[in-house]
Structures are given as C-alpha cells and as structure tokens.
C-alpha cells in the first residue's frame, strides 16, 4: 500500500482546503461565542430560579441536548422556511430563507453545545462553596452582584475542564456542515476524494487537521485556565 499525496499540489484543491479550513474555524469560533452566551444566560435563569424562564430554559436544554445535532441542523435549514421564516431578496424579488447554510450551522452548534454548556456552567456555580457566597452577601453584595463578582467568576473557572470537552465536541460537530452544502473543510475533502479517489490520503489529512484544531483549542483552554487561576484555591 502506497500513499500518494500528489493531489495536494493542485492549486484548486489547496484553495478548497484553505477556504474550507477558514470556514470551519470561523463557524467554530462563532458557535463557541453563541454557546457561551446561551450557556451563561441559561445557567443564570436556572440559578436565580427566575419564574417561567427557569422552566422554559430547562425544557429547551432538554430539547436541544437530547436530540441529535444533525436533526437540529436539518430542521433549521429545511424546515424554518416552511414555517414562513423567509425574507424577500431585493435583487430578484423572490422570497429566500432567512438563514443561510452557514448561519444555520452556527445556530445549531450554538444551540446544541449551548444546551450542554448550561448544565456545565450550572454545575460550576453549584460547586462554589456556600461559605464564599454567604461571605459576599454579609459584606453587602446584592444577589446580582454576588453572582457577577463571586459566583460566576469562580463557577466559570470550575467549569473549564468540562467546557473544554464541550468546545472540542463543537469543533468536531461542525463537520456536518457538509450536509447542508456549506463549504467547510469536510466539503472540500469530500470533493477531492470524489475526484481523485485518494480516500485514505484525504481522510488522513482531514484527521490530522481536526486533531490539530482540537488540540489548539485544548491548549488555549489550558492557557486560559492557568492565566485565571486563583492562587491558593487549588484550581
């Protein structure tokens, strides 16, 4: 068995792979931002036991956490326009779907991993010692101030290891973008495999690329964890 990587010299393939890589990274970054927004907002709703919002968040978390991300993506991509979420294209006057494929992928990543992030951050908040919270309260911090300045900072630090897993899972899940025709790295790879039939070689390359991206994310998370470490807190 010989490996042939000569297809890598084709400028068109390089362009597909580089653009795809850019799309994958951009989708993942936007997905991570959305995931954190959803995660923190959701965890706060549950933590403060906000009426209505707490129940709503719990239902949404269960809904998005317990359904396959691909089903959610297909729902966003194919079904939303059916329910009428469309806008009118000014150039042609036709009604086009509100969300492009790219937006759908970012949304599905944000929602799926965001639902998991809600639980992760909530567990981090629960791990903040009650004495610390009571101490803050006795110093005159309001509930919101305690959350903002004490519980959330410590809770987020506590949740870094679990959150790293979630971020890595998000990056890997982004590869399903190929199924809604978003030209990510997997899309480029599929095209190259179909043209060159060098499936093994292309898969090896894709494998390495995903390992590198995910490893970089893990390293970044470790750096962040080290930088925000509370000396003497054992984290």
Partner 1 sequence: MTSRFAKPRFAKPLAAISLLATCLAFGGGAQADQLDRVKQRGKLIAGIKNDYPPFGSLDAKGEIKGFEIDLAKFVAKQIFGSDTAIELVPVIASNRIELLNAGRIDVIFATLGKNADRAKVLDFTEEYYKMAGIVLLAARDTPVKTWEDVKGRKLCGIQGNLYNRTLSEKYGAETVLFTGTAEMFKAFQDNRCEGIAFDGPILTMKVAEDGWKDKYRIALETFDYIPIAGGVRKGEAAFLATVNKAIIAAEAANVLTSAEQSFHMGASDYVTKRAAEAAAKVKAN
Does position 5 interact with partner 1 (CB under 8 A)? The reply is no
Nearer to partner 1, 2 or 138 (CB): 2
Stretch binding partner 1 (CB under 8 A), from 49-57, 136-144, 168-176, 196-204: 196-204
For residues 225 and 197, give the distance between their C-alpha atoms in angstroms, rounded to a whole number.
43
Smallest separation (angstroms) from partner 1 to the CB of 26? 18
Contact 106, 38 (CB under 8 A): no
Nearer to partner 1, 151 or 184 (CB): 184
Smallest separation (angstroms) from partner 1 to the CB of 6? 13
Burial zone of 141 (CB within 10 Å; 0-12 exposed, 13-18 middle, 19+ buried): middle
Residue from the set 4, 5, 12, 71 that interacts with partner 1 by CB under 8 A: 12
Does position 8 interact with partner 1 (CB under 8 A)? The reply is no
Stretch binding partner 1 (CB under 8 A), from 23-31, 149-157, 158-166, 176-184: 176-184
Does position 179 interact with partner 1 (CB under 8 A)? The reply is yes
CA separation, residue 91 to residues 29, 95, 100, 127 (Å): 31, 11, 16, 54
Residue from the set 64, 147, 187, 210 that interacts with partner 1 by CB under 8 A: 187
Residues 34-73 that bind partner 1 (CB under 8 A): none
Beta bridge partners of 95: 88
Contact 41, 110 (CB under 8 A): no
DSSP label of 98: S
Site mask for partner 1 (CB under 8 A), range 98-137, x = bound? ---x------------------------------------
Nearer to partner 1, 158 or 185 (CB): 185
For residues 134 and 140, give the distance between their C-alpha atoms in angstroms, rounded to a whole number.
10
Long-range pairs, 11-18, Cβ under 8 A, ≥24: 13/188, 13/192, 16/183, 16/187, 16/188, 16/191, 16/192, 17/185, 17/188, 17/189, 17/192, 17/205
Does position 9 interact with partner 1 (CB under 8 A)? The reply is no
List residues near partner 1 by CB under 8 A.
Answer: 1, 12, 77-78, 81, 89, 94-97, 101, 178-181, 187, 190-191, 193-197, 199
């Amino acid at each position: 068995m010989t490996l042939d990587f000569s297809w890598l010299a084709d400028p068109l393939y390089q362009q597909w792979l580089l653009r795809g890589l850019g799309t994958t990274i951009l989708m993942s970054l936007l997905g991570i931002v959305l995931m954190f927004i959803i995660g923190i907002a959701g965890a706060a709703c549950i933590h403060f036991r906000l009426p209505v919002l707490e129940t709503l968040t719990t239902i949404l978390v269960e809904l998005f956490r317990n359904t396959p991300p691909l089903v959610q993506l297909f729902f966003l991509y194919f079904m939303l326009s059916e329910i009428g979420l469309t806008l009118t294209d000014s150039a042609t006057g036709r009604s086009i779907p509100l969300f492009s494929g790219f937006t759908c992928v970012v949304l599905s990543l944000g929602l799926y991993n965001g639902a998991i992030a809600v639980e992760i951050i909530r567990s981090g908040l629960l791990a903040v010692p009650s004495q610390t919270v009571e101490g803050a309260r006795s110093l005159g911090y309001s509930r919101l101030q305690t959350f903002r300045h004490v519980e959330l900072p410590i809770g987020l630090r506590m949740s870094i290891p679990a959150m790293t897993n979630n971020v890595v899972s998000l990056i890997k899940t982004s590869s399903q973008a190929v199924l809604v025709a978003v030209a990510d790295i997997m899309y480029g790879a599929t095209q190259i495999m179909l043209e060159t039939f060098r499936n093994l070689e292309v898969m090896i390359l894709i494998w390495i690329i995903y390992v590198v991206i995910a490893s970089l994310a893990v390293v970044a998370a470790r750096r962040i964890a080290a930088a925000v470490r509370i000396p003497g807190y054992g984290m």
